[in-house]
Amino acid sequence: PDVIIEAQFDDNDAEHGQDHLQDVLTDDMKKLSLGAGEKGEAKQDDGPKMSDPRLLPDKVLQRTAKVVCILEKKHSRAATGFIKLLADKNSELFKRCAMFSPVDHRVPRVYVSLADCPPDFVTRPEDYSNTLFICRIVDWKEDSNFATGQLAKSLGQAGEIEPETEGILTEYGVDFSDFPPEALKCLPQSLPWVISPEEMAKRRDLR
């Protein structure tokens, strides 16, 4: 359900390109014209109109749809990315917001408050050009190209294993916090632990 299919074409169409589609369309239009003439449904001088989609074959039509309702929000609304100053330094928005650019290009760019950014970000933005941040989207207005969000935390330098891993886990909503003491008490306390002979007799060895 999360995959959007924009268009599907036959392998022959991909190999022969647009010219092949045009030839197929022309042949189909001729067949439709002849069929209409035999049935007497159209005059000989009235050929089929290209603007009528009912006369076009299904393979050349692009189906469209409109989202009318979101049943379930599956995305965590968290993303990893980088912050930078807005391009227009004379705008009123420049004094209040920074731009968050997600690493995942499926996520929109986000306006974040400068109050959430590091204190010296405005004066030294180049110091944070390679720093990964976690941002959570809180709103995305219909008339705006950019969402609005809040910076959650700084992860560290991009390219390092731990910040990158923490970013991926946060994006997918995986709880990677430490286990509580109640959960640790359920584990064997005497180490090193081995399976007892009684348990081995009841189990199937898949090692």
Kindly state the percentage of the chain with pLDDT values over 70: 76
Mean pLDDT of the chain: 82
Q: pLDDT-based confidence at 195, cuts 50/70/90? A: confident
109 to 23, 98, 105, 163: CA distances (angstroms): 42, 10, 9, 20
CA–CA distance, 51 with 48 (Å, rounded to integer): 9
Rounded to the nearest angstrom, the gap between the alpha carbon of residue 58 and the centroid of all alpha carbons in its chain is: 28
CA–CA distance, 22 with 80 (Å, rounded to integer): 45
DSSP 177: S
Residue 7 has pLDDT above 60, yes or no: no
Give the per-residue pLDDT at 89. Answer: 86
Give the per-residue pLDDT at 30. Answer: 66
pLDDT, tens digit, for every residue of 103-133? 999 999 999 999 999 999 999 999 999 999 9
Beta strands at 78-84 and 97-102: parallel, antiparallel or unpaired: antiparallel
Give the per-residue pLDDT at 107. Answer: 92
Return the CATH fold of 78-179: OB fold (Dihydrolipoamide Acetyltransferase, E2P) (2.40.50)
Non-local (6+) Cβ contacts of 204 within 8 A are none
Give the per-residue pLDDT at 42. Answer: 47
Give the per-residue pLDDT at 9. Answer: 47
Backbone angles phi, psi at 138, to 5 degrees: -110, -20
Model pTM score: 0.56
Q: What is the DSSP string of 50-93?
A: TT-GGGS-GGG--------------S-SEEEEEEE--S-TTSTG
Higher confidence at residue 168 or residue 13?
168
